[in-house]
Amino acid sequence: MGEPFLQAVPVLQLIENAGFEAYFVGGSVRDHILGRKISDVDIATSAMPEEIKQIFPKTNDVGIEHGTILVHYKGAHYEITTFRSEQNYSDFRRPDKVSFIRSLNEDLQRRDFTMNAMAMDKEGNIIDPFAGKEAINKKEIVTVGNPDERFGEDALRMLRAVRFQSQLSFSIEKHTLDSLAAHCKLLENIAVERKTVEFEKLLMGPARSEAVQLLANSGIIQYLPGLKGHCDEVIQFSGQLRENFQLAESWVLLVFKLGLQHKEIDGFLREWKLPVQKIKRIKQIHSLILHRLENEWNLELVYKAGLEDAISAEIVYASLQNMDVSIGTIRELHERLPIKHRKELDVTGNDVMTWMGKHPGPWLREILEEIERSVINGVVPNEKEKIKKWLSASNLKSGKN
């Protein structure tokens, strides 16, 4: 057992001491068997939420209506969820009724894929009623039970299947895959936010290209924001999606492959409900690439972009041009920059107003921008006195003309 589990064993022990069952469940058990890094350790228990709250002094009711209590224990926190079963998904996404139960097996049965439906006790014994280990050995994603029923209950599971394919480089078992292709229309009922979470995880997985292709070929993209009818473009996107891409870079590439104009990006990304800051960055990288398609990098452009966005833009640009990425020039230019940010400029608006003896106005911004540009390009050093002299000299010149 790895460190995150060992740290959590006393939590299971405390629940057992109180007379209940408790197990590690879900993704952490799967990742443990796969030898992957374990992030969150989730715990399932026969204790009711109120009973858990009596065992641990520090808790939050994060999802108490679904049976989940967040427990703080020795500097870590754990989601502890009461065993539950789910009945009647009349809207293809949420169960009409969640019942708390005392049986682990029934809890495992409501889970999406066999690899995610295993539990592990505090001694490290695996409880695997649906042959999850076997599926992992075969590198297969298989629904627990009949895929038609399971996708009918919660259509998001189809997108999750493709997301796991991307993250684990597994394939989707034939019946599960056929069912997915037949039922993807049900994704119409799923909230965009939930789709976005899975899609972004998919975009970061090692087998992202194959997974995006599957989204296109299975028909799932017809039910993803802004992708309906863009099968060819999405396939092209999958071909140019590189393994080292960060999320923002993947979004920018997608926007390019869809042929969106700069002004259309906002609308597209808002449909995905991306946060404003993220949209802003994607748009900035997009405009840098538009620039890059016409020009080489120069000091001013790298300064305006900032190192990180300039590199991201070059990475996507290289993929669009089918070239190898080379960021040496950008790094070199960035190192040569006398200032990396406006706040490093050795003069302020107040200095300039005093020197000129003028009140603020649009002229001030123009002059400050001119100073900034000249400092960046090495026309004048970033020193107050020298800038003052340079300014009065250039003013004299313009006065003569």
Report the binding-site residues for CTP: 27, 30, 111, 154, 157, 160, 163
Can you tell me the distance from the alpha carbon of 277 to that of 279, in angstroms, rounded to the nearest whole number? 5
Can you tell me the distance from the alpha carbon of 38 to that of 41, in angstroms, rounded to the nearest whole number? 7
Which residues belong to the annotated binding site? 27, 30, 40, 42, 111, 154, 157, 160, 163
Query: Which residue(s) pair with 84 in the sheet?
Result: 100
Footprint (CB under 6 A) of ligand ATP, residues 205-264? none
The amino acid that residue 152 corresponds to is G
Give the shortest CB-197-to-ligand ATP separation in angstroms.
8
Query: Which residue(s) pair with 100 in the sheet?
Result: 84
Q: Which of 116, 213, 218, 312 binds ligand ATP (CB under 6 A)?
A: 116
Instruction: Lay out the sheet containing 59-63: strands in order across.
Output: 59-63, 68-73, 76-82, 42-45, 22-25, 119-120, 126-127
Which residues belong to the annotated binding site for Mg(2+)? 40, 42
Q: Which is nearer to ligand ATP, 97 or 342 (CB)?
A: 97
- Which of 100, 98, 49 shows the shortest CA–CA distance to 71? 49
Q: Which is nearer to ligand ATP, 11 or 44 (CB)?
A: 44
Q: Which is nearer to ligand ATP, 144 or 313 (CB)?
A: 144
Binding at 178: pick from ligand ATP, Mg ion, none (beta carbon under 5-8 Å per type): none
Stretch that binds ligand ATP, among 150-158, 221-229, 271-279, 333-341 (CB under 6 A): 150-158
Q: Which is nearer to Mg ion, 27 or 225 (CB)?
A: 27
Binding at 53: pick from ligand ATP, Mg ion, none (beta carbon under 5-8 Å per type): none
- Interface with ligand ATP includes 157 (CB under 6 A)? yes
- Which of 31, 28, 106 shows the shortest CA–CA distance to 67? 106
- Interface with Mg ion includes 77 (CB under 5 A)? no
Q: Which of 154, 173, 314, 372 binds ligand ATP (CB under 6 A)?
A: 154
Neighbours of 145 (CB within 10 A): 14
Can you tell me the distance from the alpha carbon of 273 to that of 143, in angstroms, rounded to the nearest whole number? 29
Whole-number Cα distances in Å, 221 to 157, 184, 251: 15, 9, 15
* Site mask for Mg ion (CB under 5 A), range 5-44, x = bound: ----------------------x-----------------
Footprint (CB under 6 A) of ligand ATP, residues 314-353? none
Contacts with 396 (C-beta within 8 Å, 6 or more apart), sequence order: none
Binding at 257: pick from Mg ion, ligand ATP, none (beta carbon under 5-8 Å per type): none
- Which of 323, 315, 322 shows the shortest CA–CA distance to 249? 315
Q: Which is nearer to Mg ion, 143 or 218 (CB)?
A: 143
Give the shortest CB-250-to-ligand ATP separation in angstroms.
17
Footprint (CB under 6 A) of ligand ATP, residues 5-64? 26-27, 42
Can you tell me the distance from the alpha carbon of 2 to that of 179, in angstroms, rounded to the nearest whole number? 36
Specify whether the CB–CB gap between 15 and 125 falls below 8 A: no
Binding at 372: pick from ligand ATP, Mg ion, none (beta carbon under 5-8 Å per type): none
- Interface with ligand ATP includes 156 (CB under 6 A)? yes
| Residue of minimal Cβ distance to ligand ATP | 27
Specify whether the CB–CB gap between 391 and 314 falls below 8 A: no
Can you tell me the distance from the alpha carbon of 340 to that of 304, in angstroms, rounded to the nearest whole number? 9
Give the shortest CB-194-to-ligand ATP separation in angstroms.
8
Token output for 92: 């293809």
| Residue of minimal Cβ distance to Mg ion | 27
Q: Which is nearer to Mg ion, 11 or 313 (CB)?
A: 11
Give the shortest CB-75-to-ligand ATP separation in angstroms.
21
Footprint (CB under 5 A) of Mg ion, residues 316-355? none
Neighbours of 331 (CB within 10 A): 13
Q: Which is nearer to ligand ATP, 42 or 346 (CB)?
A: 42
Neighbours of 213 (CB within 10 A): 18
First to last CA, the chain: 80
Which DSSP symbol is given to 229?
A: T
Task: Name the one residue in this structure whose structure tokens are 């999750």.
Answer: 160
Neighbours of 241 (CB within 10 A): 20
* Site mask for ligand ATP (CB under 6 A), range 77-106, x = bound: ------------------------------
Query: Which residues are near ligand ATP by CB under 6 A?
Result: 26-27, 42, 111-112, 116-117, 154, 156-157
